[in-house]
Structure 1
Amino acid sequence: MTFTQLPQAVQQDSSSPAADSLNNSLDRIGQGVTDTGRLMLEGEWGLVWEQILSGLTNLFISSVPNIISAIFVGAFFYGLYRLLRGVIRGVLRKSRGVDRGLETIVMKTFRVVGWGFILLLVLSQLGINLSALIAGLGIAGLAVGFAAKDSLENFISGLTILLDRPFKVGDWVTVGNYFGRVSNITLRSTRLETPNRQTVVFPSVHMVTNAVINHSARGVLRVDVPFGIAYKERIEAAREAVMSLLDGSDDRLAPDWDHAVVATKLNDSSVDLELRLFLRDAGDQIPVRLDYTEKIRNALRDADIEIPFPHLQLFIDGADAPIKIERVGSDGDAGGD
């Protein structure tokens, strides 16, 4: 054996039986195609059909062992894949630290990896050169990565959301000018369902780079219902009238929290107050605010407490008695009030 023959010998020793069988089959196919073309040129059509049938028969016979081996390996690892998938799903569903969005991502990733692994094993049993295939897929992956830069950013941001868990499916959040319940979290986007039944889709990178207010993170949420009274009214009387609305019949309110009416500002025409309520469910904040705005108005009216509105008082220096102000109508005639 000479030095120049050494790589060829090493290559022959290291090749698999499946690869040798495939190479032999390919060689026989090439020779068969050449012979078939020669017969066609000579006009021997009967021999052409015999050549084709003989080639297909020989190819099938020579490939049967590889096909049987590939079927056996594929069936075995598919059963193993199904078993592992059931175990992983059971563990994720029993774990309290894994929400539904993360469970979905983990199961999808496992499915892609599992099927890819089974496919590679089957192709290997058929004698296909996997090194060249993997190298080609790697080059294609780089090209796709450069072309899909935004998608990769969303993918990484989606992983960040699922691991950091600033919110989860079912939470009520505010993102920019949108308030809604998180309905789905994927690697690419997060979906919100607003109270008016709209679905808003945010790219994952937007959810990571912008402020997100999670109203459900603490369990109990405080809602402030503002209102005002005139300066001549007493704050304690208004507080008593409004607090009488909280008789314990509203199941939306958290029972073990101290609801209160507080003064927040001395405004130009009113004393501004707030009714502070604590809710069991953050999703009730809009209907609760609307309901108690109406209830507060009715309670203050029943208690004969004035609710002010913007108005202007005019004082004239040196006037010892009220002055009658006349208004000129649209027809030019003077009219008094």
Structure 2
Amino acid sequence: MDTIIWGNSVGAWIVALVVGVVSFFLFYYLKKIADKYISFLFSRRPTTAISLVLDLVRQINVYFLILLAILAGSSFLSLPLRLSRAISMLVVLFLLLQVGLWGNKAINFWLTSNIKRKVEKDPSAATMLSALGFMGRLLFWGIIILIALQNMGIEVSALVAGLGIGGIAVALAAQNILGDLFASWSIVLDKPFLVGDFIIIDGYLGTVEHIGLKTTRLRSLTGEQLIFSNSDLLKCRIRNYKRMQERRIVFSFGVLYETPLEKLKEIPDIVKNIITSIENARFDRAHFASYGNFSLNFEVVYYVLSPDYTVYMDIQQRINFALFEEFKKRDIVFAYPTQTIYVSGAEPISVSLKGQPASEGSE
């Protein structure tokens, strides 16, 4: 027992070993007890806070517990200064690693819970939340690494200054990528369109399938996928048909010039009665608008109380059928391109058959 090893007696080493082993099992079983107790609470009252605490407890690393036990045992020894500092530094590094694991778990937990809740309302929110999560983890681990380097005695200020200059160089080199990244955030925050919206961009039309960090993808009516850079999208004029509350329709038709005046006066009322009898349609006006080259032109305006294009086409078809039927009952004829040529001042031409003299006035 009186033998000295590294400045400590065998008895002191035995005490340190016992304290270390007991401390490890104590920490380990405390973790197990906390896990079971919090799991029991979560089964009785499944709240977000309890779920987060349970995940953090389960994230405690066993190597971190071993280092805590070594630190507890070493407190009963008189160790050389360098060894004592090495143990303390190792414990601090593992503590920072454990804090990093907790922070990473907390960020993932926040992302998962928010994505599940918000994606139901806005699928494009997943893009924004994923980007924020990535930036958050990057910043968090950067701080952890800087603190660890500082505890190891490395000068951090010069490193931070170098990272700042390097960051500027990287930003200049990747300005197009960063432009698309910030554009995606602008799209998600400002919401000019959402996933599922039908939009038209400079003549290209389709349904929004995905809003990513760099590109936005549309599915066109003909089936192919259209891909746009996010930064280019913000420079374009976008027509969003999904947000249409009602559709204003203007159409015209023409009838023959020979149509009697009394029947012309009936046409606006005929159109009005047809449109008002159709569900999801609101009549606005019908007028004898102009004299055409071959027709008397009427202009009709009505509203479809649905943004669905198929609903609009169904209503327009019913109007066309009903107009055709009503006009046929009243002997009103739709005009079609015709041309009448009047010849005046022409004199009769004498034509004689072969072998016979032409008689005067014959043709």
TM-score for both structures, normalised by structure 2: 0.54
SS at match of 1:258: strand
Where does 1:22-37 land on structure 2 (aligned, <5 Å)? none
* Whole-angstrom CA distance in 1 between matches of 2:177 and 2:347: 78
Match of 2:141 among 116, 119, 135: 119
Decide whether the 8 Å contact of 1:154 with 1:188 is kept in 2.
yes
Residue among 134, 159, 179 paired with 2:205: 179
Shift of 1:167: 3.6
Q: Does 1:269 align with 2:294?
A: yes
Instruction: Report deviation, 1:269.
Output: 1.9
1:110 matched to which residue of 2? 132
Q: Percent identity?
A: 20
> In the alignment, residue 283 of structure 1 is paired with which amino acid?
D
* Counterpart-to-counterpart distance in 1, 2:209 and 2:299: 32
Equivalences for residues 21-100 of structure 1 within 5 A: 64-65=90-91, 68-85=94-111, 99-100=122-123
After the TM superposition, which of the residue ranges 140-149 and 310-319 deviates more from structure 2?
A: 140-149
Look up the match of 1:200: 226
Count of aligned pairs? 254
CA distance 1:293–1:318, change in 2 (3 Å) = farther
Q: Residue 217 of structure 2 aligns to a residue in which SS?
A: strand
4+ residue stretches of structure 1 with deviation over 6 A?
60-63
Q: Which amino acid in the other structure matches residue 113 of structure 1?
A: M
Alignment RMSD, CA only? Answer: 4.1
1:209 aligns with 2:235: yes
Instruction: Extract unaligned runs of 5+ from structure 1.
Output: 1-59, 324-337
- The residue number in structure 2 matching 1:55 is none
Equivalent residue for 2:312?
288
2:278 matches 1:278: no
Counterpart for residue 34 of structure 1: none
Could you say what secondary structure the match of 2:206 adopts? strand
Q: 1:143 aligns with which of 165, 169, 174?
A: 169
User: Cα–Cα, structure 1 residues 220 and 302, in superposed 2: closer, same or farther, change >3 Å?
Assistant: closer
Shift of 1:100: 4.2
1:111: Cα distance to partner? 0.8
Quick one: distance in 1 between partners of 2:144 and 2:206? 47
| Aligned-partner Cα distance in 1 for 2:270–2:224 | 38
Structure 2 gap segments, 5+ residues each: 1-85, 350-363
Q: 1:81-112: per-residue Cα shift (whole Å, max 9, x none)?
A: 24544675588679xxx9543x2343123211
Q: Is the CA contact (8 Å cut-off) linking 1:183 and 1:191 kept in structure 2?
A: yes
Aligned letter for 2:145? L
Q: 1:155 offset after TM fit, Å?
A: 3.6
More contact order relative to length (CA 8 Å, sep ≥ 6): 1
C-alpha distance in 2 between matches for 1:244 and 1:196: 37
